[in-house]
Amino acid sequence: MSAETGEPTSRIVRRALPAASNLPLGLHPVLRRIFTGRGACEPEAIDFSLQALLRTEALSGMAAAVALLVSAVCEAQRIVFVADFDADGATSCALGMRALRACGAQYVDYVVPNRFEFGYGLTPPIVALVRAKEAALLVTVDNGISSLEGVAAARAAGMKVLITDHHLPGLHMPQADAIVNPNVPGDDFPSKALAGVGVIFYVMLALRAALRSQGWFIEQKIPEPNFGELLDLVALGTVADVVPLDANNRRLVAQGIARIRAGRAQPGISALLRVAGREPSKVVASDLGFAVGPRLNAAGRLADMSLGIECLSSDDPARCSAIAGELDGLNRERRSLERDMKTQAIEQVLAELPETGEVPHGICVFDPAWHQGIVGVVAGRVKDLYHRPVVAFALASPDELKGSARSIPGVHIRDVLDTVAARYPDLLSRFGGHAMAAGLSLSRAALTAFTAAFDAVIAEQVDPLALTPLVYTDGPLGEREMTLELARLLNTAAPWGQAFPEPLFDGEFEVSQRRLVGVDHLKLQLGLAGRSFAAIAFGAADAPWAEARRIRAAYRLSVNEYQGNETLQLVIEHAEGLPNG
Per-residue pLDDT of the chain (581 residues; tens, 9 = 90+): 444 444 555 688 999 999 889 999 899 999 999 999 999 999 999 999 999 999 999 999 999 999 999 999 999 999 999 999 899 999 999 999 999 999 999 999 999 987 767 667 799 999 999 999 999 999 999 999 999 999 999 999 999 999 999 998 888 999 999 999 999 999 999 999 999 999 999 999 999 999 999 999 999 999 999 999 999 999 999 999 989 999 999 999 999 999 999 999 999 999 999 999 999 999 999 999 999 999 999 998 888 899 999 999 999 999 999 999 999 999 999 999 999 999 999 999 999 888 777 899 999 999 999 999 899 999 999 999 999 999 999 999 999 999 999 999 889 999 999 999 999 999 999 888 788 888 999 999 999 999 999 999 999 999 988 888 889 999 999 888 999 999 999 999 999 999 999 999 999 999 999 999 988 899 999 999 889 999 999 989 988 899 999 999 999 999 998 888 999 999 999 999 999 86
Contact between 464 and 458 under an 8 Å Cβ cutoff? The reply is no
pLDDT at position 168: 86
Give all strands (DSSP E) within 373-478, no chain letters: 390-397, 400-406, 428-433, 437-443, 470-473
* β 107-111/428-433 pair status: unpaired
- Rounded to 10°, the helix 247-261/231-240 angle is 120
Distance, CA of 78 to CA of 106 (rounded, Å): 8
511: phi then psi, degrees, rounded to nearest 5: -95, 110
3-state helix, strand, coil in the chain (%, to 5): 40, 20, 35
Q: What residue type is 103 in one-letter code? A: C
Cβ atoms of 555 and 538 closer than 8 Å: no
pLDDT value at residue 2: 47
pLDDT at position 430: 87
Is pTM beyond 0.75? Reply is yes
pLDDT value at residue 10:
63
Q: Which domains does the chain have, with CATH numbers?
A: 55-329 (3.90.1640.30), 353-467 (3.10.310.30), 470-577 (2.40.50.460)
Distance between CA atoms of residues 385 and 4, nearest Å = 12
* Residue of 355, 353, 451, 352 lying closest to 401 (CA atoms): 451
Distance CA 394, CA 371 (A): 6
